[in-house]
Amino acid sequence: MTAVYLGPQLSFTWTSKLSAQLGADLPVSIDNTALQTVPDYRVRGGLTWHF
């Protein structure tokens, strides 16, 4: 299986210790042998706190 995704991502930094990311991925190319399940799109999020 080969899947290529592209999409936007937003990154925010509130202080020097707290940041967040939010992104979405849309498929550009999917080569599937019909045995695997492949997502139509993906949404990602993350929160980072340095202490």
pLDDT at residue number 38:
80
pLDDT at residue number 36:
80
Chain segment 25-41, per-residue pLDDT in tens: 999 988 888 788 888 88
Give me the number of domains the chain comprises. Answer: 1
pTM of the model: 0.67
pLDDT at residue number 23:
97
Chain segment 5-20, per-residue pLDDT in tens: 999 999 999 988 999 9
Task: Determine the structural domain holding residue 45 and report its residue range.
Answer: 2-33+40-49
Cα–Cα dist 28/4, whole Å: 6
Q: Indicate the pairing of strand 2-6 with strand 42-49.
A: unpaired
Beta bridge partners of 9: 23
pLDDT at residue number 7:
95
